[in-house]
Amino acid sequence: MSTSNIQIIPISQSKIDTVDFNNLVFGTVFTDYMFECDYKDGKWQTPVIKPYGEISMAPSARVFHYGQAVFEGMKAYKDENDDVFLFRPDENFKRINKSSARLAIPEFPENYFFDGLKQLLNLDKDWIKKGIGNSMYIRPFVIATQPAISASPANEYKFMIILSPAQAYYAGEVRVVFAEQYSRAADGGVGFAKAAGNYAAQFYPTKLAHEQGFQQIIWTDANSHEYLEEAGTMNIFFRVGDTLLTAPNNDRILDGITRKSLIQLAEDNNIKVEIRRVTVAEIKEAARKGELKEIFGSGTATVVNPIIGFSHGGESFDLPKIENSYALFFKEKLMNIQYNISEDPHGWRLKI
Ligand SMILES: *Cc1c(COP(=O)(O)O)cnc(C)c1O
């Protein structure tokens, strides 16, 4: 891969001493540096890494009016020898360009993405703390900056990467409701993309769910609300007996990297996975018969997130407390790979 002559504007003084790394609130603290690259005159210009700070844009910038914006979520991990690793970053790179293509945003060059990530993480490496659970959350994103409010794709964009140190995150007990009225995504839409608007559209129904005592909504297909698809920021797995069920990817479901890694780990460990449409009716039936053993979400932020119960059609179900949970098994297996504790048979780690 060629290097890309990224310009670096140094900070005058690090902010690191002002941060309490034992009391981080997710996504609120940012490192010393950020990566920025503008698209104009038909091409991506020379990227720059500079002190983290505010950016200025015209109020007419298209992102504010039409939501032409996509993002990614990834993490860097530090092992006991202070080496830093990314987990399957090639997948994030492919996905942000897939998301961009769907929103008519020009694709970002591979060497800029990887050189930018590596140089940024090197500059901010003291912000990545050792120890299981500690990580650096990485947020690449692209926004339409052209100052013109006509409803068409912009001809100017900004690609940025910002870094936020994260601690192990305990979501508390998560109880979910299966969607019966609202939908997250529809056929032919943008559900498969990490498009900013997908998340804004979930806030209101999720707020209603919170008021009823649910932490999350499990979205169902928009046509019939009979098939279980995914959670708002996580893919979803059901364990019926000793078999795992998860929905196949389609244009409504985000193709999660954690999801595909868990499917591979399940195969490696002789756990049966069925990738097929999962009905609300079969999950309720399995719960009634005591065959539904676990439900869990998968995503970069929490890795695996166990769910303790669900509601649908006015009925509530509690999941049993079980020994040898798949959720915890997968969480440990995956984190051991991410933190360079175990072998990496599939070549998922990238050392920085
Ligand atoms: C990001 C995201 C996921 C999880 O993807 P990972 O690559 O595993 O982090 C799942 N669903 C939605 C809607 C998402 O935005």
The mean pLDDT of 50-74, rounded to a whole number, is 97
CA dihedral 89, 95, 99, 104 (to 10 degrees): 90
Residue 115 has pLDDT above 80, yes or no: yes
> Does position 139 have pLDDT exceeding 90, yes or no?
yes
Task: Read off the pLDDT band of 232 (50, 70, 90).
Answer: confident
How far apart are the CA of 11 and the centre of ligand 1, in A? 33
Q: Given a cut of 90, is residue 3 above it in pLDDT?
A: no
2 pLDDT more than 70: no
Instruction: Specify whether domain 3-166 bears CATH 3.30.470.10.
Output: yes
Pocket test for ligand 1, best of 96, 169, 235 (most atoms within 8 A of CB): 235
The pLDDT of residue 170: 72
Domain boundaries, the chain: 3-166, 175-338
Please state which of the four CATH numbers 2.30.31.70, 3.40.50.720, 3.40.1350.10, 3.20.10.10 is assigned to the domain occupying 175-338: 3.20.10.10
pLDDT attached to residue 245: 98
Give CA–CA dist 185/196, Å, rounded: 13
User: 42 alpha carbon to ligand 1 midpoint, in Å?
Assistant: 30
Residue 334: CA count within 13 A, CB half-sphere:
29
Residue type, 101: A
Nearest CA, atom 10, ligand 1: 234
pLDDT band (50, 70, 90) for residue 1: very low
State whether the beta carbon of 297 lies less than 6 angstroms from ligand 1.
no
Domain 3-166 shares a fold with domain 175-338: no
Task: Record the pTM.
Answer: 0.95
Q: To the nearest whole percent, how much of the chain has pLDDT over 70?
A: 99
**What confidence tier does 252 reach under pLDDT thresholds 50, 70, 90?**
very high
Q: What is the pLDDT of residue 172?
A: 76
- Residue 234 CA to ligand 1 center (angstroms) comes to 5
Positions of E strands within 168-312: 174-178, 216-220, 227-231, 235-240, 243-246, 273-275, 278-279, 292-299, 303-312
Do 175 and 307 touch, CB atoms closer than 8 A?
Answer: yes
Which atom from ligand 1 is nearest to the alpha carbon of 301?
Answer: 9
Say if strands 43-44 and 33-40 run parallel, antiparallel, or are unpaired. antiparallel
Distances from the Cα of 323 to the Cαs of 89, 172, 320, 327, 329, in angstroms? 33, 19, 10, 11, 11
Which of 234, 246, 261 for a ligand 1 pocket mutation test, highest count of atoms within 8 Å of Cβ?
234
Mean of the pLDDT values across residues 170-189?
92
Query: Of 164, 116, 161, 118, nearest to 143 (Cα)?
Result: 161
